[in-house]
Chain A
């Protein structure tokens, strides 16, 4: 009434003008993500993996393809299977994290990235070579031991296989 509503509205926009903008300039700036963020790149530790295929079994979508042969060496258990194929089809993954929960040897971890944009569906599959060579920045999802160390996958260093165990 009396045009005061209009003045009030205009005052609000004027106040907005002197506020820090809400915008985050994405490629240059990033929103800090929680350390339990379930990201697209998986951290897989070959040394810890026995090839038991629990992850593949528990995956609700069946997108983990694992092929093993006898005769591998596990750092904890001694003899184990050697893993020949370990493909994760990220294009169909729903990031439930059940594979990570299922892993009895803490060999598989969620990642913290979200930038796997590709032109083809086939290139969304993470092959074993990439899992072996990629940076090991495990998310602390379902890994209380990492959380206890206050590990932050976005800030801290890569972790080697003997640092991530329970």
Chain B
């Protein structure tokens, strides 16, 4: 939990409360126990808040996607169907825990836990309000990148241990998309790190005199796309493409093990939204309203946009996803990093007006990139499988083999 400082207001006040707790003039809680209790309470409340919000979010997601599709969504159980997640949870808990024959049971049982823990761990370093965070790591962003990658290990463990070819396919796809999208994602984070001069999430928020979304339009787009791909959100959800490989890596899971996978998948958008808000949208800062509410509103905004994209866009093919990562996002992220570094070389310690100039340059570059890529890559990138079907065959204008 780090040192007890005024900056860490909730934690330090809890610590003081426990330390000063007296019965008949005698201190009943020693220093180490107060330290532990305060830390435990903060962690407990944040983890449970995340899980509970996610549970409600499953309902909200199904409702909203229903509305996007001109349907009603679940509305039978409770007011507006609000108790649907409870019914789901009870159903999952009551289900038989099946395990196919020939399964590597240790890995099979461990996979959901390995998958869900990193998604919750992300919230450890995110400042969810003014002076409210579990830990102010000086390597916060690095921690996030390192920890989220472990989730894919959980996916691969599940897919491998199931002893099912569909599961293995899903797992392989997950690993492939992780390897491809981790590169542009990290490079887009580096742009933010260059601007803020720190890897700590708290300092990234404090460094934003203007929101970094204005300074890093390309970085924002790259991070958004790459994060969507890494958490297997539509349109990059080939990992569990129902029409191709049943449910991917969790085909063989049932009951609460499956529920754990699903819970982690529903937490992930909130984690990514929280990172996006912290890095690009000034985090918890905002006028009038309390900082925690601002943070929550911003997270919900990004969550809604992810939902909107999920409701709209069709699923991409695996080769299109790979091509998008390596042919578009990777060059763009390198360009973004280069431009940002160059600008910071010219303006060493940028003032606000200089920052706005940088924003103008970056937006111009972003729009030029969009136009160039749309024109150049239109026919080549997405129309036929390039990754696996690269051969000597050439096609003429009408698509016939020459």
Q: Which residues of A contact B (CB under 8 A)?
A: 1-3, 6, 9-10, 12-14, 16-17, 19, 21-23, 25
Chain A: CB-nearest residue to B314: A9
Contact B70 A1 (CB under 8 A): no
Contact A17 B313 (CB under 8 A): no
Asked if B28 is at the interface of the complex by the 8 Å CB criterion, the answer is no
Cα A22 to Cα B311 in complex, Å, equals 17
Q: How many A-B residue pairs have CB under 8 A?
A: 42
Cα A25 to Cα B375 in complex, Å, equals 47
Partner of A19, one of B66, B70, B308: B70
Contact B309 A23 (CB under 8 A): no
* Given contact pairs A1-B374, A13-B308, A6 touches B313 in the complex (Cβ within 8 A): yes
* Given contact pairs A9-B313, A10-B312, A13-B311, A2 touches B370 in the complex (Cβ within 8 A): yes
Partner of A23, one of B71, B374, B378: B71
Would you give 12 A-B contacts (Cβ < 8 Å), ordered by A? A1-B374, A1-B375, A2-B374, A6-B312, A9-B313, A10-B313, A13-B68, A13-B312, A16-B69, A16-B70, A17-B67, A23-B72
Q: Which residues of B contact A23 (CB under 8 A)?
A: 71-72
Contact A21 B71 (CB under 8 A): yes
* Given contact pairs A10-B309, A10-B312, A3 touches B70 in the complex (Cβ within 8 A): no
In addition to A10-B308, A10-B312, A17-B68, 9 A-B residue pairs with Cβ atoms within 8 Å of each other are: A9-B312, A13-B68, A14-B68, A16-B67, A16-B68, A16-B69, A17-B64, A21-B70, A21-B72
Tell me the chain B residues, 38-66 only, with Cβ under 8 Å from chain A.
Answer: 64, 66
Contact A1 B312 (CB under 8 A): no
* Given contact pairs A6-B313, A9-B313, A1 touches B378 in the complex (Cβ within 8 A): yes
CB of A1 to closest CB in B, whole Å: 5
Cα A22 to Cα B68 in complex, Å, equals 11
Cα A9 to Cα B308 in complex, Å, equals 10
Contact B67 A22 (CB under 8 A): no
Q: Which residues of A contact B313 (CB under 8 A)?
A: 6, 9-10
* Given contact pairs A3-B370, A10-B312, A21 touches B378 in the complex (Cβ within 8 A): no
* Given contact pairs A6-B313, A9-B313, A22 touches B370 in the complex (Cβ within 8 A): no
Q: Which residues of B contact A2 (CB under 8 A)?
A: 370-371, 374
Contact B71 A3 (CB under 8 A): no
CB of A5 to closest CB in B, whole Å: 10
Lowest 7 A-B CB distances belong to which pairs? Answer: A23-B72, A13-B312, A13-B68, A16-B70, A2-B374, A17-B67, A21-B72
Cα A17 to Cα B69 in complex, Å, equals 7
Q: Which residues of A contact B312 (CB under 8 A)?
A: 6, 9-10, 12-13
Q: Which residues of A contact B70 (CB under 8 A)?
A: 16, 19, 21-22
Cα A3 to Cα B312 in complex, Å, equals 14
Partner of A22, one of B64, B71, B309, B375: B71
Cα A9 to Cα B64 in complex, Å, equals 16
Q: Which residues of A contact B69 (CB under 8 A)?
A: 13, 16
Tell me the chain B residues, 371-393 only, with Cβ under 8 Å from chain A.
Answer: 371, 374-375, 378
CB of B375 to closest CB in A, whole Å: 8
Cα A64 to Cα B375 in complex, Å, equals 71
CB of B240 to closest CB in A, whole Å: 21
CB of B371 to closest CB in A, whole Å: 6
CB of A24 to closest CB in B, whole Å: 10
Q: Which residues of B contact A1 (CB under 8 A)?
A: 374-375, 378
Cα A13 to Cα B68 in complex, Å, equals 5
Contact B67 A21 (CB under 8 A): yes
Cα A158 to Cα B124 in complex, Å, equals 70
Chain B: CB-nearest residue to A8: B312
CB of B80 to closest CB in A, whole Å: 13
Q: Which residues of A contact B71 (CB under 8 A)?
A: 21-23
Q: Which residues of A contact B64 (CB under 8 A)?
A: 17
Cα A6 to Cα B234 in complex, Å, equals 13
Chain A: CB-nearest residue to B69: A16
Contact B308 A3 (CB under 8 A): no
CB of A32 to closest CB in B, whole Å: 19
Q: Which residues of A contact B370 (CB under 8 A)?
A: 2-3
Chain B: CB-nearest residue to A14: B308
Cα A13 to Cα B308 in complex, Å, equals 8
Cα A10 to Cα B370 in complex, Å, equals 18
Residue-wise interface mask of B (12-45) relative to A, using a CB-CB cutoff of 8 A (1 in contact, 0 not): 0000000000000000000000000000000000
Cα A21 to Cα B74 in complex, Å, equals 13
CB of A23 to closest CB in B, whole Å: 4
Tell me the chain B residues, 280-321 only, with Cβ under 8 Å from chain A.
Answer: 308-309, 311-313
Cα A1 to Cα B240 in complex, Å, equals 28
Contact A3 B67 (CB under 8 A): no
